[in-house]
Structure formats: structure tokens, C-alpha cells
Chain A
Amino acid sequence: MASGDTLLIFHPYNNEPPATNYATLDTRNQHPCLDFDAATNESAMFSAIMPQHYAGTTGVTVYLHYAMSSAEADTVDWDVAFELIGDQDLDIDGDSFAAVNSVDDTTVPDTAGLVDIVSVAFTDGADMDSVAVGDSFRLKVTRDAVSDDAAGDAELYKVELRET
């Protein structure tokens, strides 16, 4: 597919939470969201199969649609990581996420509830744990709450993967 085309979309109900420090399912005016704490690094995980129309050349960019529960100032940090499951590539008894890529120091919207979109780019190959067409994988989204300074929860509403 062409650069910029959508590959996958994840919703809050698609979350497969980790055993500990998981983002909490919530709603805001009936919009489902995942609440990421301000003090503890919490994560959400989404699984999928890389679509057959992924070109496998320029990588993917992950777009995070989030709002803040209460903060109307300061910054938020997000980390994103891929884990290849593939075809006899991973014993799923354990986790094997590649190193995170981040979007840091994003000034939050000046109105709580206003949805902002930030993006994290991954080059094809090891950067995205070598996930290729037809491979199953997991995507982990973490708020780096220990490093950012915006007070209160961050709410994740949607995640989109696009061809870079």
C-alpha cells in the first residue's frame, strides 16, 4: 500500500492488558478509553496480524489518540513497542518486546477531554521486532508517567497503524 494508508486500528476494547500495571478501562461521555496513571508506568497491549497489503519497506507509524482526564498544562510521554509472535518465532509463555520508540514532551491540549494525536515511527525490520506480512504480533503502549509531568490520567481512545 501507499505511504500513509491505514493498516490497522485498535480500540480500547481490543486491549489485552498485562498482568500488572495495566491501563484501566473507562468511559468518558460514553466514549470507551483506557486510563493511564500519572504516577505509575501503565501499559495496554493489542494483538493483530500484519495485513497482507503491508509493503514491508518503509515501516509503520503508530498514531495514538489520547486526551487528558484533568491536566490542561505540561507534558505527556508515550512509549510503543512491537513483539513478533510470527511462525514459530516466539514461545508465548514469555514476553519478548523489542525496544520502545517514544514520543516525549508533548504539551497536552489546553482543554481536558480534547483529543490530541501523536505519532511514533518505526523503521521496517528490527525496530518493529521484524514483524512482516502475515505475522501475528503484539503492540504495547505505555505512558512513561515516571518521566512526564502532566498531572492526572491520560486517556487512550484509539490507536492507528499506518504505512510510513
Chain B
Amino acid sequence: MALTLEDRARVARGLMRYWSRFWTVIAISKAELLAAVGATDDWVEDNAASYNAALPQAARSNLSLGQKTLLLCVVAIARVSISALRQFLGEVD
């Protein structure tokens, strides 16, 4: 289910605070960032079936929706950096 508008705003605010903490450049406005969060959420919604189909049979059949979503997020964060993933998971060996 897609995020509510309030939750999309929460994501945008959290991202701004995260990037501010590490002085990461944000070259777009707050409104543009919120639009990007919404577009990303829409994309996840529209492509959920495709992602599910791409998973191996065991994971597709036995992981819950929440676990599959977390799996997607963790892999995506790892593509940002392992350090970022470590902040999320606590430890990445």
C-alpha cells in the first residue's frame, strides 16, 4: 500500500535532516524532494509484482510482504554505502 501524504512528508523531512547532518549536497528544493519521494513510492507500488516475480521461489513463497520490502531497502541502502547500511542495521560484517 502506498505511503500516506504525511508519511511521504516524514520521509522527505528525515532525508533532509540526514543529509544536513553529513553536509551532503541537496541541489533541489523541498517541494522537488517531496515530489521525488512521492514518485519513488509510486514506482514501488507499481513495480511490486515485478519485484516479487524476480525473487527466487523460496523467498517469494516464504518471506512476508514486510520482509521482502525490507530486503529491497537493505540492498538499496548497501548500494549507497556499506557505512550507511551499518547505520541502519547496526552491524554489517
Residues of A in contact with B (beta carbons under 8 Å apart): 28, 35, 37-39, 69-74, 112-113, 149-153
Contact = CB atoms under 8 A, between A and B. Distances in A.
Chain B interface residue bracket vs A:
10 to 19
Contacts of B28: 73-74, 151
A150 B25 contact: no
A153 B31 contact: no
B30 A39 contact: yes
Nearest to B15: A151
Interface stretch (B16-24, B44-52, B64-72): B16-24
**Chain B contact residues: over half helix, strand or loop, or mixed?**
helix
**Chain A contact residues: over half helix, strand or loop, or mixed?**
loop
B25 A72 contact: yes
Contact of A38 (B20, B21, B24, B27): B20
A87 to B, nearest CB: 42
B13 interface: yes
Nearest to A74: B29
A150 B30 contact: yes
B26 interface: yes
B29 A69 contact: no
B77 interface: no
28 contacts: A28-B23, A35-B20, A37-B17, A38-B13, A38-B16, A38-B17, A39-B9, A39-B12, A39-B13, A39-B30, A69-B19, A69-B20, A70-B19, A70-B24, A72-B25, A72-B27, A73-B28, A74-B29, A74-B30, A112-B23, A113-B23, A149-B29, A151-B16, A151-B19, A151-B26, A151-B28, A153-B16, A153-B20
